[in-house]
Structure 1
Amino acid sequence: MSHSSRDVFRDITLDIQGNTIAARQWGNPDGVPVLALHGWLDNCASFDAMAPFLAELNLVAVDLAGHGQSYHRHRDANYTIWTEIEDVLGIADALGWEAFSILAHSRGAVIATITAATFPERVQRLALIDGLVPPPATDAEAPDTLRRGIEQRARYRARESKVFSSLDVATTARKNGLFKLSDDAARRLVMRGVRRCEGGYTWSNDPQLLASSLAKLNEAQVEAFLGRVTMPIRLALGKDGIQGMIERIRPVAEQHPNIQLREFAGGHHLHMEDAAEAIACWFLPFLEDRD
Protein backbone atom coordinates (compact mmCIF):
# COMPACT_ATOMS: atom_id res chain seq x y z
CA MET A 1 0.00 0.00 0.00
CA SER A 2 1.43 3.37 -0.99
CA HIS A 3 1.88 6.11 1.57
CA SER A 4 -0.57 8.34 -0.34
CA SER A 5 -3.32 5.70 -0.16
CA ARG A 6 -2.60 5.20 3.52
CA ASP A 7 -3.30 8.91 4.08
CA VAL A 8 -6.93 8.54 2.97
CA PHE A 9 -9.59 8.90 5.65
CA ARG A 10 -13.27 9.69 5.64
CA ASP A 11 -15.08 12.15 7.88
CA ILE A 12 -18.06 10.65 9.65
CA THR A 13 -20.59 11.80 12.24
CA LEU A 14 -22.19 9.68 14.92
CA ASP A 15 -25.43 10.30 16.81
CA ILE A 16 -25.04 9.82 20.56
CA GLN A 17 -28.38 10.29 22.33
CA GLY A 18 -29.25 13.12 19.94
CA ASN A 19 -25.79 14.69 20.16
CA THR A 20 -23.35 14.76 17.23
CA ILE A 21 -19.85 13.35 17.56
CA ALA A 22 -17.56 14.14 14.60
CA ALA A 23 -14.83 11.67 13.69
CA ARG A 24 -12.31 10.45 11.13
CA GLN A 25 -12.27 6.83 10.06
CA TRP A 26 -9.01 5.37 8.80
CA GLY A 27 -7.76 2.06 7.51
CA ASN A 28 -9.52 -1.25 6.94
CA PRO A 29 -13.27 -1.35 7.76
CA ASP A 30 -12.87 -5.08 8.40
CA GLY A 31 -9.83 -4.63 10.63
CA VAL A 32 -9.59 -4.73 14.41
CA PRO A 33 -11.83 -1.95 15.80
CA VAL A 34 -9.84 0.74 17.60
CA LEU A 35 -11.24 3.97 19.03
CA ALA A 36 -8.78 6.90 19.24
CA LEU A 37 -9.23 9.51 21.98
CA HIS A 38 -7.29 12.80 21.89
CA GLY A 39 -6.06 14.98 24.73
CA TRP A 40 -7.42 18.12 26.34
CA LEU A 41 -8.16 20.97 23.88
CA ASP A 42 -6.95 18.82 20.94
CA ASN A 43 -9.11 17.00 18.39
CA CYS A 44 -9.07 13.93 16.17
CA ALA A 45 -6.34 15.43 13.94
CA SER A 46 -4.06 14.50 16.85
CA PHE A 47 -3.78 11.06 15.21
CA ASP A 48 -3.15 12.19 11.61
CA ALA A 49 0.58 11.44 11.81
CA MET A 50 0.15 7.95 13.28
CA ALA A 51 -2.90 6.74 11.37
CA PRO A 52 -1.15 6.02 8.02
CA PHE A 53 1.04 3.49 9.83
CA LEU A 54 -2.00 1.76 11.35
CA ALA A 55 -3.79 1.13 8.06
CA GLU A 56 -4.55 -2.51 8.90
CA LEU A 57 -6.85 -1.38 11.72
CA ASN A 58 -10.40 -0.04 11.61
CA LEU A 59 -9.36 3.17 13.35
CA VAL A 60 -11.96 5.77 14.32
CA ALA A 61 -10.54 8.97 15.83
CA VAL A 62 -13.23 11.15 17.41
CA ASP A 63 -13.59 14.76 18.46
CA LEU A 64 -14.65 14.40 22.09
CA ALA A 65 -17.55 16.54 23.32
CA GLY A 66 -16.69 20.24 23.33
CA HIS A 67 -13.74 19.71 20.98
CA GLY A 68 -13.19 20.02 17.24
CA GLN A 69 -16.45 19.68 15.35
CA SER A 70 -18.42 17.73 17.97
CA TYR A 71 -21.31 18.95 20.10
CA HIS A 72 -20.95 21.17 23.16
CA ARG A 73 -22.52 20.10 26.41
CA HIS A 74 -25.32 22.15 27.95
CA ARG A 75 -24.14 25.29 29.78
CA ASP A 76 -25.05 23.67 33.12
CA ALA A 77 -23.21 20.42 32.36
CA ASN A 78 -19.66 19.45 33.29
CA TYR A 79 -16.82 18.14 31.15
CA THR A 80 -15.86 15.31 33.45
CA ILE A 81 -14.25 11.92 32.90
CA TRP A 82 -17.53 10.31 33.95
CA THR A 83 -19.59 11.90 31.19
CA GLU A 84 -16.82 11.19 28.67
CA ILE A 85 -17.08 7.48 29.48
CA GLU A 86 -20.78 7.51 28.64
CA ASP A 87 -19.92 9.10 25.29
CA VAL A 88 -17.18 6.52 24.61
CA LEU A 89 -19.66 3.69 25.12
CA GLY A 90 -22.25 5.54 23.03
CA ILE A 91 -19.72 5.97 20.22
CA ALA A 92 -18.87 2.27 20.29
CA ASP A 93 -22.56 1.39 20.23
CA ALA A 94 -23.16 3.72 17.28
CA LEU A 95 -20.31 2.00 15.43
CA GLY A 96 -21.74 -1.43 16.25
CA TRP A 97 -18.69 -2.39 18.31
CA GLU A 98 -19.47 -4.68 21.22
CA ALA A 99 -15.76 -5.08 22.01
CA PHE A 100 -12.96 -2.76 20.91
CA SER A 101 -9.51 -1.45 21.80
CA ILE A 102 -8.55 2.14 22.56
CA LEU A 103 -5.65 4.27 21.34
CA ALA A 104 -5.46 7.41 23.45
CA HIS A 105 -3.33 10.41 24.37
CA SER A 106 -3.08 12.40 27.63
CA ARG A 107 -6.57 13.14 29.03
CA GLY A 108 -7.90 10.68 26.47
CA ALA A 109 -5.62 8.04 28.01
CA VAL A 110 -7.10 8.70 31.45
CA ILE A 111 -10.60 8.40 29.98
CA ALA A 112 -9.54 5.14 28.32
CA THR A 113 -8.20 3.66 31.55
CA ILE A 114 -11.28 4.57 33.59
CA THR A 115 -13.56 3.26 30.82
CA ALA A 116 -11.66 -0.04 30.71
CA ALA A 117 -11.80 -0.36 34.49
CA THR A 118 -15.54 0.28 34.60
CA PHE A 119 -16.51 -1.84 31.58
CA PRO A 120 -13.63 -4.35 31.19
CA GLU A 121 -15.78 -6.74 29.18
CA ARG A 122 -15.93 -4.20 26.34
CA VAL A 123 -12.32 -2.97 26.14
CA GLN A 124 -9.80 -5.48 24.82
CA ARG A 125 -6.51 -3.56 24.79
CA LEU A 126 -5.20 -0.10 25.62
CA ALA A 127 -2.48 1.69 23.63
CA LEU A 128 -1.76 4.84 25.62
CA ILE A 129 0.44 7.89 24.99
CA ASP A 130 1.71 10.14 27.80
CA GLY A 131 -1.14 9.35 30.15
CA LEU A 132 -2.56 6.58 32.32
CA VAL A 133 -4.41 7.79 35.43
CA PRO A 134 -5.00 11.25 36.89
CA PRO A 135 -2.69 12.52 39.63
CA PRO A 136 -4.47 11.57 42.87
CA ALA A 137 -5.80 14.35 45.07
CA THR A 138 -5.86 14.30 48.85
CA ASP A 139 -9.17 14.20 50.71
CA ALA A 140 -8.27 17.51 52.36
CA GLU A 141 -8.17 19.21 48.95
CA ALA A 142 -11.82 18.45 48.16
CA PRO A 143 -13.40 21.73 49.42
CA ASP A 144 -10.88 23.91 47.56
CA THR A 145 -11.23 21.77 44.44
CA LEU A 146 -15.02 22.22 44.46
CA ARG A 147 -14.82 25.96 45.05
CA ARG A 148 -12.22 26.46 42.30
CA GLY A 149 -14.26 24.42 39.83
CA ILE A 150 -17.48 26.34 40.49
CA GLU A 151 -15.75 29.73 40.25
CA GLN A 152 -14.00 28.79 37.02
CA ARG A 153 -17.20 27.44 35.46
CA ALA A 154 -18.90 30.79 36.08
CA ARG A 155 -15.91 32.64 34.63
CA TYR A 156 -15.52 30.58 31.47
CA ARG A 157 -19.24 30.31 30.81
CA ALA A 158 -19.26 34.05 30.11
CA ARG A 159 -15.90 34.15 28.34
CA GLU A 160 -15.71 35.21 24.69
CA SER A 161 -13.28 33.23 22.56
CA LYS A 162 -10.26 35.01 21.12
CA VAL A 163 -10.43 36.00 17.45
CA PHE A 164 -7.47 35.38 15.11
CA SER A 165 -7.13 37.36 11.91
CA SER A 166 -5.85 34.35 9.94
CA LEU A 167 -5.14 30.64 10.18
CA ASP A 168 -1.43 31.42 10.34
CA VAL A 169 -1.94 33.58 13.43
CA ALA A 170 -4.04 30.86 15.06
CA THR A 171 -1.39 28.27 14.20
CA THR A 172 1.35 30.37 15.80
CA ALA A 173 -0.75 30.72 18.96
CA ARG A 174 -1.35 26.97 19.11
CA LYS A 175 2.29 26.20 18.40
CA ASN A 176 3.40 28.31 21.35
CA GLY A 177 0.73 27.15 23.80
CA LEU A 178 1.12 25.17 27.02
CA PHE A 179 2.77 22.28 25.14
CA LYS A 180 5.08 23.32 22.31
CA LEU A 181 4.26 21.90 18.87
CA SER A 182 5.85 21.77 15.44
CA ASP A 183 4.36 23.91 12.67
CA ASP A 184 2.77 20.84 11.05
CA ALA A 185 1.24 19.49 14.27
CA ALA A 186 -0.13 22.89 15.25
CA ARG A 187 -1.64 23.48 11.82
CA ARG A 188 -3.35 20.08 11.80
CA LEU A 189 -5.02 20.80 15.14
CA VAL A 190 -5.96 24.33 14.08
CA MET A 191 -7.51 23.27 10.77
CA ARG A 192 -9.80 20.93 12.70
CA GLY A 193 -10.25 23.14 15.75
CA VAL A 194 -11.34 26.58 14.53
CA ARG A 195 -14.47 28.07 13.03
CA ARG A 196 -14.98 31.22 10.99
CA CYS A 197 -16.30 34.26 12.78
CA GLU A 198 -16.49 38.00 12.31
CA GLY A 199 -12.92 39.22 12.00
CA GLY A 200 -11.38 35.87 11.12
CA TYR A 201 -11.29 32.62 13.11
CA THR A 202 -11.92 31.50 16.66
CA TRP A 203 -11.50 28.22 18.52
CA SER A 204 -14.37 25.78 18.09
CA ASN A 205 -13.66 24.28 21.53
CA ASP A 206 -16.15 25.00 24.30
CA PRO A 207 -14.59 27.61 26.67
CA GLN A 208 -15.98 25.64 29.61
CA LEU A 209 -13.33 23.00 28.95
CA LEU A 210 -10.91 25.41 30.63
CA ALA A 211 -12.65 25.07 34.00
CA SER A 212 -11.08 22.62 36.44
CA SER A 213 -12.90 19.56 37.74
CA LEU A 214 -15.39 19.87 40.58
CA ALA A 215 -14.04 16.69 42.18
CA LYS A 216 -10.94 14.53 41.76
CA LEU A 217 -10.06 10.94 42.58
CA ASN A 218 -8.03 10.24 45.70
CA GLU A 219 -5.19 7.71 45.80
CA ALA A 220 -7.35 4.80 46.94
CA GLN A 221 -9.83 5.44 44.14
CA VAL A 222 -7.09 5.64 41.52
CA GLU A 223 -5.70 2.33 42.76
CA ALA A 224 -9.17 0.77 42.72
CA PHE A 225 -9.67 1.66 39.06
CA LEU A 226 -6.20 0.48 38.08
CA GLY A 227 -6.82 -2.79 39.86
CA ARG A 228 -9.79 -3.43 37.57
CA VAL A 229 -7.77 -2.84 34.40
CA THR A 230 -6.48 -6.33 33.68
CA MET A 231 -6.34 -6.27 29.87
CA PRO A 232 -2.95 -5.79 28.10
CA ILE A 233 -1.69 -2.20 28.04
CA ARG A 234 1.15 -0.53 26.17
CA LEU A 235 2.15 2.91 27.37
CA ALA A 236 4.39 5.26 25.36
CA LEU A 237 5.91 8.14 27.32
CA GLY A 238 7.73 11.17 25.92
CA LYS A 239 11.21 11.63 27.31
CA ASP A 240 10.59 15.38 27.26
CA GLY A 241 6.87 15.22 28.05
CA ILE A 242 5.00 16.72 30.99
CA GLN A 243 7.43 17.48 33.79
CA GLY A 244 7.38 14.70 36.36
CA MET A 245 5.16 12.40 34.26
CA ILE A 246 7.71 9.60 33.88
CA GLU A 247 8.67 9.78 37.55
CA ARG A 248 4.99 9.59 38.57
CA ILE A 249 3.78 6.97 36.10
CA ARG A 250 6.69 4.50 35.92
CA PRO A 251 6.42 3.28 39.55
CA VAL A 252 2.67 2.87 39.12
CA ALA A 253 3.02 0.95 35.84
CA GLU A 254 5.71 -1.33 37.24
CA GLN A 255 3.26 -2.59 39.86
CA HIS A 256 1.00 -3.96 37.12
CA PRO A 257 2.49 -6.78 34.97
CA ASN A 258 -0.09 -6.20 32.22
CA ILE A 259 1.42 -2.75 31.49
CA GLN A 260 4.40 -2.48 29.12
CA LEU A 261 6.07 0.91 29.20
CA ARG A 262 8.49 2.38 26.68
CA GLU A 263 10.00 5.85 26.44
CA PHE A 264 10.29 7.64 23.08
CA ALA A 265 12.02 10.84 22.05
CA GLY A 266 9.73 13.84 22.05
CA GLY A 267 7.49 16.06 24.12
CA HIS A 268 3.90 15.64 25.29
CA HIS A 269 2.60 15.44 21.70
CA LEU A 270 5.27 12.95 20.64
CA HIS A 271 2.71 10.99 18.57
CA MET A 272 2.31 14.01 16.29
CA GLU A 273 6.03 14.55 15.83
CA ASP A 274 9.04 12.50 14.70
CA ALA A 275 8.20 9.53 16.95
CA ALA A 276 4.80 8.93 15.31
CA GLU A 277 5.94 6.05 13.08
CA ALA A 278 7.96 4.33 15.82
CA ILE A 279 5.06 4.46 18.27
CA ALA A 280 2.63 3.19 15.62
CA CYS A 281 4.94 0.30 14.77
CA TRP A 282 5.12 -0.64 18.46
CA PHE A 283 1.35 -0.42 18.86
CA LEU A 284 0.18 -2.14 15.63
CA PRO A 285 1.08 -5.81 16.34
CA PHE A 286 -0.09 -5.30 19.92
CA LEU A 287 -3.50 -3.98 18.84
CA GLU A 288 -3.80 -6.80 16.31
CA ASP A 289 -2.81 -9.29 19.04
CA ARG A 290 0.11 -10.57 16.99
CA ASP A 291 2.81 -10.42 19.68
Structure 2
Amino acid sequence: MPSSSPSHSPLPPREITLDVQGNQIAARQWGDPAGVPVLALHGWLDNCASFDKMAPMLKGLNLVAVDLAGHGQSYHRHRDANYTIWTEIEDVLAIADALGWARFAMLAHSRGAVIATIAAATFPERVQRLALIDGLVPPPTTDAEAPETLRKGIEQRARYRGRRSRVFESLEVAVTARKHGLFKLSDDAARALVERGVRSCEGGYTWSNDPQLMASSLAKMNEPQVRAFLSRATMPIRLALGKEGIQGMIERIRPLAEQMPNLALREFAGGHHLHMEGSAEDIAEWFSPFLCGGEGRAG
Protein backbone atom coordinates (compact mmCIF):
# COMPACT_ATOMS: atom_id res chain seq x y z
CA MET A 1 0.00 0.00 0.00
CA PRO A 2 1.32 3.49 -0.74
CA SER A 3 2.64 5.61 2.08
CA SER A 4 1.54 9.22 2.42
CA SER A 5 4.86 10.18 3.99
CA PRO A 6 7.66 7.92 2.72
CA SER A 7 10.85 8.00 4.76
CA HIS A 8 13.04 7.92 1.69
CA SER A 9 12.88 8.69 -2.01
CA PRO A 10 11.78 5.77 -4.21
CA LEU A 11 14.36 4.11 -6.39
CA PRO A 12 14.39 5.35 -9.98
CA PRO A 13 13.12 2.99 -12.69
CA ARG A 14 15.45 0.84 -14.77
CA GLU A 15 15.62 1.82 -18.42
CA ILE A 16 15.28 -1.27 -20.61
CA THR A 17 14.95 -2.04 -24.32
CA LEU A 18 13.00 -5.00 -25.69
CA ASP A 19 13.38 -6.65 -29.09
CA VAL A 20 9.88 -7.07 -30.48
CA GLN A 21 9.87 -8.87 -33.81
CA GLY A 22 13.10 -7.13 -34.76
CA ASN A 23 11.92 -3.71 -33.57
CA GLN A 24 13.06 -1.84 -30.46
CA ILE A 25 10.55 -1.04 -27.72
CA ALA A 26 11.85 1.26 -24.98
CA ALA A 27 10.51 0.84 -21.45
CA ARG A 28 10.92 1.63 -17.78
CA GLN A 29 10.87 -1.18 -15.24
CA TRP A 30 9.75 -0.49 -11.69
CA GLY A 31 9.72 -2.54 -8.51
CA ASP A 32 10.79 -6.11 -7.85
CA PRO A 33 11.77 -8.26 -10.88
CA ALA A 34 10.37 -11.21 -8.91
CA GLY A 35 7.08 -9.40 -8.26
CA VAL A 36 3.71 -9.78 -9.95
CA PRO A 37 4.22 -9.06 -13.69
CA VAL A 38 2.29 -5.99 -14.82
CA LEU A 39 2.49 -4.36 -18.25
CA ALA A 40 1.63 -0.64 -18.32
CA LEU A 41 0.31 1.04 -21.48
CA HIS A 42 0.10 4.82 -21.89
CA GLY A 43 -2.37 6.87 -23.90
CA TRP A 44 -2.27 8.41 -27.37
CA LEU A 45 0.72 10.75 -27.95
CA ASP A 46 1.96 10.09 -24.38
CA ASN A 47 4.79 7.77 -23.32
CA CYS A 48 5.81 5.56 -20.41
CA ALA A 49 6.56 8.61 -18.22
CA SER A 50 2.77 8.67 -17.85
CA PHE A 51 3.29 6.24 -14.94
CA ASP A 52 6.28 7.93 -13.26
CA LYS A 53 4.18 9.43 -10.46
CA MET A 54 2.06 6.40 -9.63
CA ALA A 55 4.48 3.52 -10.24
CA PRO A 56 6.53 3.98 -7.04
CA MET A 57 3.29 3.77 -5.03
CA LEU A 58 2.43 0.31 -6.39
CA LYS A 59 4.14 -2.31 -4.23
CA GLY A 60 4.94 -5.96 -4.88
CA LEU A 61 4.94 -5.59 -8.66
CA ASN A 62 7.35 -6.12 -11.53
CA LEU A 63 5.91 -3.17 -13.46
CA VAL A 64 7.12 -2.60 -17.01
CA ALA A 65 5.81 0.61 -18.61
CA VAL A 66 6.52 0.69 -22.35
CA ASP A 67 6.69 3.38 -25.01
CA LEU A 68 4.25 2.01 -27.57
CA ALA A 69 5.35 1.97 -31.20
CA GLY A 70 5.69 5.49 -32.61
CA HIS A 71 5.84 7.02 -29.13
CA GLY A 72 8.59 8.15 -26.80
CA GLN A 73 11.85 6.37 -27.55
CA SER A 74 10.40 3.32 -29.34
CA TYR A 75 10.56 2.45 -33.02
CA HIS A 76 8.36 4.02 -35.70
CA ARG A 77 6.35 1.80 -37.98
CA HIS A 78 7.11 1.75 -41.70
CA ARG A 79 5.55 4.51 -43.79
CA ASP A 80 3.03 2.09 -45.32
CA ALA A 81 2.00 0.62 -41.96
CA ASN A 82 -0.89 1.58 -39.70
CA TYR A 83 -1.10 2.58 -36.05
CA THR A 84 -4.19 0.65 -35.04
CA ILE A 85 -5.29 -1.18 -31.91
CA TRP A 86 -4.94 -4.42 -33.88
CA THR A 87 -1.23 -3.94 -34.51
CA GLU A 88 -0.74 -2.68 -30.95
CA ILE A 89 -2.22 -5.92 -29.59
CA GLU A 90 0.32 -7.92 -31.57
CA ASP A 91 3.05 -5.79 -29.99
CA VAL A 92 1.57 -6.30 -26.51
CA LEU A 93 1.75 -10.07 -26.85
CA ALA A 94 5.25 -9.87 -28.32
CA ILE A 95 6.38 -7.60 -25.45
CA ALA A 96 5.06 -10.10 -22.90
CA ASP A 97 6.85 -12.90 -24.74
CA ALA A 98 10.09 -10.89 -24.75
CA LEU A 99 9.74 -10.46 -20.99
CA GLY A 100 9.10 -14.18 -20.55
CA TRP A 101 5.60 -13.61 -19.17
CA ALA A 102 3.10 -16.39 -19.86
CA ARG A 103 0.46 -14.59 -17.78
CA PHE A 104 0.39 -11.00 -16.59
CA ALA A 105 -1.80 -8.13 -15.44
CA MET A 106 -2.18 -4.82 -17.22
CA LEU A 107 -2.28 -1.20 -16.03
CA ALA A 108 -3.38 1.15 -18.78
CA HIS A 109 -4.58 4.67 -19.53
CA SER A 110 -6.88 6.05 -22.25
CA ARG A 111 -6.06 4.50 -25.65
CA GLY A 112 -3.77 2.13 -23.79
CA ALA A 113 -6.79 1.01 -21.76
CA VAL A 114 -8.69 0.27 -24.98
CA ILE A 115 -5.74 -1.76 -26.26
CA ALA A 116 -5.51 -3.61 -22.93
CA THR A 117 -9.21 -4.49 -22.90
CA ILE A 118 -9.24 -5.76 -26.49
CA ALA A 119 -6.00 -7.68 -25.93
CA ALA A 120 -7.40 -9.29 -22.78
CA ALA A 121 -10.63 -10.22 -24.54
CA THR A 122 -8.73 -11.73 -27.46
CA PHE A 123 -6.25 -13.66 -25.29
CA PRO A 124 -8.02 -14.07 -21.92
CA GLU A 125 -5.74 -16.96 -20.98
CA ARG A 126 -2.78 -14.54 -20.95
CA VAL A 127 -4.22 -11.57 -19.01
CA GLN A 128 -5.05 -12.08 -15.33
CA ARG A 129 -6.59 -8.71 -14.47
CA LEU A 130 -6.96 -5.16 -15.78
CA ALA A 131 -6.46 -1.86 -13.93
CA LEU A 132 -7.74 0.82 -16.30
CA ILE A 133 -7.70 4.64 -16.17
CA ASP A 134 -10.14 6.77 -18.18
CA GLY A 135 -10.66 4.22 -20.92
CA LEU A 136 -12.31 0.86 -21.63
CA VAL A 137 -13.42 0.35 -25.24
CA PRO A 138 -13.56 2.64 -28.28
CA PRO A 139 -16.76 4.56 -29.01
CA PRO A 140 -18.70 2.33 -31.43
CA THR A 141 -19.42 3.45 -34.96
CA THR A 142 -22.29 2.49 -37.28
CA ASP A 143 -22.01 0.33 -40.36
CA ALA A 144 -23.22 3.26 -42.46
CA GLU A 145 -20.17 5.29 -41.40
CA ALA A 146 -17.66 2.72 -42.70
CA PRO A 147 -17.08 4.25 -46.20
CA GLU A 148 -16.46 7.74 -44.82
CA THR A 149 -14.24 6.32 -42.04
CA LEU A 150 -12.09 4.58 -44.65
CA ARG A 151 -11.87 7.68 -46.85
CA LYS A 152 -10.93 9.92 -43.92
CA GLY A 153 -8.26 7.50 -42.73
CA ILE A 154 -6.64 7.21 -46.16
CA GLU A 155 -6.64 10.98 -46.70
CA GLN A 156 -5.16 11.64 -43.28
CA ARG A 157 -2.46 9.00 -43.73
CA ALA A 158 -1.36 10.72 -46.94
CA ARG A 159 -1.39 14.10 -45.18
CA TYR A 160 0.65 13.07 -42.14
CA ARG A 161 3.05 10.60 -43.79
CA GLY A 162 5.56 13.26 -44.77
CA ARG A 163 4.69 15.86 -42.16
CA ARG A 164 7.53 17.48 -40.23
CA SER A 165 7.02 17.95 -36.51
CA ARG A 166 7.04 21.38 -34.92
CA VAL A 167 10.39 22.67 -33.62
CA PHE A 168 10.58 24.25 -30.15
CA GLU A 169 13.43 26.57 -29.26
CA SER A 170 13.64 25.15 -25.74
CA LEU A 171 12.24 22.44 -23.49
CA GLU A 172 10.29 25.11 -21.61
CA VAL A 173 8.43 26.11 -24.77
CA ALA A 174 7.63 22.44 -25.48
CA VAL A 175 6.38 21.96 -21.91
CA THR A 176 4.09 24.98 -22.24
CA ALA A 177 2.70 23.64 -25.52
CA ARG A 178 2.04 20.21 -24.01
CA LYS A 179 0.50 21.72 -20.90
CA HIS A 180 -2.10 23.57 -22.99
CA GLY A 181 -2.75 20.79 -25.53
CA LEU A 182 -5.91 18.79 -26.15
CA PHE A 183 -5.94 17.60 -22.53
CA LYS A 184 -4.82 20.19 -19.98
CA LEU A 185 -1.91 19.10 -17.79
CA SER A 186 -0.11 20.32 -14.70
CA ASP A 187 3.46 21.59 -15.08
CA ASP A 188 4.91 18.41 -13.59
CA ALA A 189 2.84 16.07 -15.76
CA ALA A 190 3.61 18.00 -18.94
CA ARG A 191 7.33 18.10 -18.14
CA ALA A 192 7.49 14.35 -17.51
CA LEU A 193 5.91 13.57 -20.87
CA VAL A 194 7.97 16.16 -22.74
CA GLU A 195 11.33 15.07 -21.33
CA ARG A 196 10.61 11.54 -22.54
CA GLY A 197 8.86 12.59 -25.74
CA VAL A 198 11.21 15.01 -27.54
CA ARG A 199 14.49 14.74 -29.41
CA SER A 200 17.05 17.41 -30.13
CA CYS A 201 17.17 18.82 -33.64
CA GLU A 202 18.44 21.85 -35.51
CA GLY A 203 16.86 24.86 -33.84
CA GLY A 204 15.98 23.14 -30.57
CA TYR A 205 13.67 20.21 -29.92
CA THR A 206 10.93 18.36 -31.75
CA TRP A 207 8.46 15.63 -30.79
CA SER A 208 9.82 12.11 -31.00
CA ASN A 209 6.34 10.74 -31.77
CA ASP A 210 5.66 9.55 -35.31
CA PRO A 211 3.47 12.16 -37.12
CA GLN A 212 1.50 9.27 -38.64
CA LEU A 213 -0.09 8.74 -35.23
CA MET A 214 -2.28 11.76 -36.03
CA ALA A 215 -4.15 9.87 -38.78
CA SER A 216 -7.48 8.31 -37.85
CA SER A 217 -8.21 4.59 -38.15
CA LEU A 218 -9.17 3.04 -41.48
CA ALA A 219 -11.87 0.97 -39.79
CA LYS A 220 -13.69 1.10 -36.45
CA MET A 221 -15.79 -1.34 -34.44
CA ASN A 222 -19.56 -1.24 -34.40
CA GLU A 223 -21.60 -1.74 -31.22
CA PRO A 224 -22.10 -5.54 -31.55
CA GLN A 225 -18.35 -5.96 -32.01
CA VAL A 226 -17.59 -3.83 -28.95
CA ARG A 227 -20.00 -5.88 -26.88
CA ALA A 228 -18.54 -9.14 -28.22
CA PHE A 229 -15.09 -8.16 -26.97
CA LEU A 230 -16.45 -7.04 -23.59
CA SER A 231 -18.26 -10.37 -23.17
CA ARG A 232 -14.89 -12.16 -23.40
CA ALA A 233 -13.11 -9.85 -20.95
CA THR A 234 -14.20 -11.89 -17.91
CA MET A 235 -11.10 -11.34 -15.75
CA PRO A 236 -11.32 -8.97 -12.75
CA ILE A 237 -11.28 -5.33 -13.90
CA ARG A 238 -11.00 -2.04 -12.02
CA LEU A 239 -11.72 1.18 -13.88
CA ALA A 240 -10.82 4.65 -12.55
CA LEU A 241 -12.58 7.53 -14.31
CA GLY A 242 -11.77 11.22 -13.98
CA LYS A 243 -14.71 13.35 -12.86
CA GLU A 244 -13.40 16.11 -15.12
CA GLY A 245 -12.10 13.77 -17.84
CA ILE A 246 -13.14 13.41 -21.47
CA GLN A 247 -16.58 14.92 -21.98
CA GLY A 248 -19.24 12.21 -22.06
CA MET A 249 -16.84 9.42 -21.02
CA ILE A 250 -18.58 8.57 -17.74
CA GLU A 251 -22.03 8.67 -19.36
CA ARG A 252 -20.84 6.37 -22.16
CA ILE A 253 -18.87 3.91 -20.04
CA ARG A 254 -21.05 3.53 -16.93
CA PRO A 255 -23.94 1.65 -18.66
CA LEU A 256 -21.43 -0.82 -20.11
CA ALA A 257 -19.63 -1.24 -16.79
CA GLU A 258 -22.88 -1.90 -14.92
CA GLN A 259 -23.50 -4.92 -17.16
CA MET A 260 -20.12 -6.45 -16.25
CA PRO A 261 -20.18 -8.20 -12.85
CA ASN A 262 -16.38 -8.54 -12.98
CA LEU A 263 -15.82 -4.77 -13.30
CA ALA A 264 -15.63 -2.27 -10.45
CA LEU A 265 -15.77 1.43 -11.33
CA ARG A 266 -14.80 4.45 -9.26
CA GLU A 267 -14.71 8.12 -10.08
CA PHE A 268 -11.78 10.23 -8.90
CA ALA A 269 -11.10 13.95 -8.90
CA GLY A 270 -9.17 15.19 -11.90
CA GLY A 271 -9.06 15.37 -15.66
CA HIS A 272 -8.06 12.83 -18.28
CA HIS A 273 -4.52 12.42 -16.86
CA LEU A 274 -5.75 12.04 -13.28
CA HIS A 275 -3.13 9.33 -12.55
CA MET A 276 -0.35 11.87 -13.14
CA GLU A 277 -1.78 14.51 -10.86
CA GLY A 278 -3.62 14.87 -7.55
CA SER A 279 -5.50 11.55 -7.60
CA ALA A 280 -2.41 9.40 -8.24
CA GLU A 281 -2.10 8.23 -4.64
CA ASP A 282 -5.82 7.46 -4.25
CA ILE A 283 -5.85 5.44 -7.48
CA ALA A 284 -2.67 3.61 -6.49
CA GLU A 285 -4.22 2.76 -3.13
CA TRP A 286 -7.20 1.21 -4.92
CA PHE A 287 -5.14 -0.56 -7.60
CA SER A 288 -2.21 -1.84 -5.54
CA PRO A 289 -3.81 -4.81 -3.69
CA PHE A 290 -5.90 -5.59 -6.75
CA LEU A 291 -2.88 -5.89 -9.07
CA CYS A 292 -1.18 -8.09 -6.49
CA GLY A 293 -4.15 -10.44 -6.70
CA GLY A 294 -5.43 -9.75 -3.19
CA GLU A 295 -8.87 -8.44 -4.15
CA GLY A 296 -11.33 -9.12 -6.91
CA ARG A 297 -14.30 -7.06 -8.05
CA ALA A 298 -15.36 -5.69 -4.68
CA GLY A 299 -14.24 -2.14 -4.48
- 8 Å CA contact 2:59, 2:288 repeated in 1: no
Q: TM-score, normalised by structure 1?
A: 0.99
Letter of the structure 2 residue corresponding to residue 181 of structure 1: L
Task: Report the counterpart of residue 77 of structure 1 in structure 2.
Answer: 81
**Pairs within 5 Å for 1:46-65:** 46-65=50-69
Alpha-carbon distance in structure 1 between the residues aligned to 2:17 and 2:9: 22
**Kindly, what percent of the aligned residue pairs are identical?**
81
Task: Report the counterpart of residue 28 of structure 1 in structure 2.
Answer: 32
- RMSD between superposed Cα atoms in Å: 0.9
Task: Report the counterpart of residue 136 of structure 2 in structure 1.
Answer: 132
**Pairs within 5 Å for 1:151-166:** 151-166=155-170
- Deviation larger for 261-270 or 5-14: 5-14
Alpha-carbon distance in structure 2 between the residues aligned to 1:78 and 1:3: 46
Note the C-alpha offset of 1:289.
Answer: 1.3
Letter of the structure 2 residue corresponding to residue 51 of structure 1: A
Aligned pair 1:42/2:26, yes or no? no
Unaligned 5+ runs, structure 1: none
SS at match of 2:164: coil
Task: Report the counterpart of residue 237 of structure 1 in structure 2.
Answer: 241
Note the C-alpha offset of 1:290.
Answer: 1.2
> Aligned in 2, Cα 1:99/1:227: closer, same or farther, shift over 3 Å?
same
- 8 Å CA contact 1:6, 1:27 repeated in 2: no
Note the C-alpha offset of 1:6.
Answer: 2.2
Alpha-carbon distance in structure 1 between the residues aligned to 2:277 and 2:255: 26
Alpha-carbon distance in structure 2 between the residues aligned to 1:276 and 1:253: 22
Alpha-carbon distance in structure 2 between the residues aligned to 1:18 and 1:73: 12
Task: Report the counterpart of residue 15 of structure 1 in structure 2.
Answer: 19
Task: Report the counterpart of residue 196 of structure 2 in structure 1.
Answer: 192
Task: Report the counterpart of residue 95 of structure 1 in structure 2.
Answer: 99
Task: Report the counterpart of residue 219 of structure 1 in structure 2.
Answer: 223
Note the C-alpha offset of 1:240.
Answer: 0.2
Q: Map Cα deviations across residues 59-118 of structure 1 (whole Å, 9 max, x no partner).
A: 000000000000000000000000000000000000000000000000000000000000
SS at match of 1:42: coil
- 8 Å CA contact 1:69, 1:193 repeated in 2: yes
SS at match of 2:115: helix
Task: Report the counterpart of residue 254 of structure 2 in structure 1.
Answer: 250
> Aligned in 2, Cα 1:4/1:171: closer, same or farther, shift over 3 Å?
farther
Task: Report the counterpart of residue 290 of structure 2 in structure 1.
Answer: 286
SS at match of 2:255: helix
Alpha-carbon distance in structure 2 between the residues aligned to 1:51 and 1:66: 22
- Aligned pair count? 291
Task: Report the counterpart of residue 275 of structure 1 in structure 2.
Answer: 279
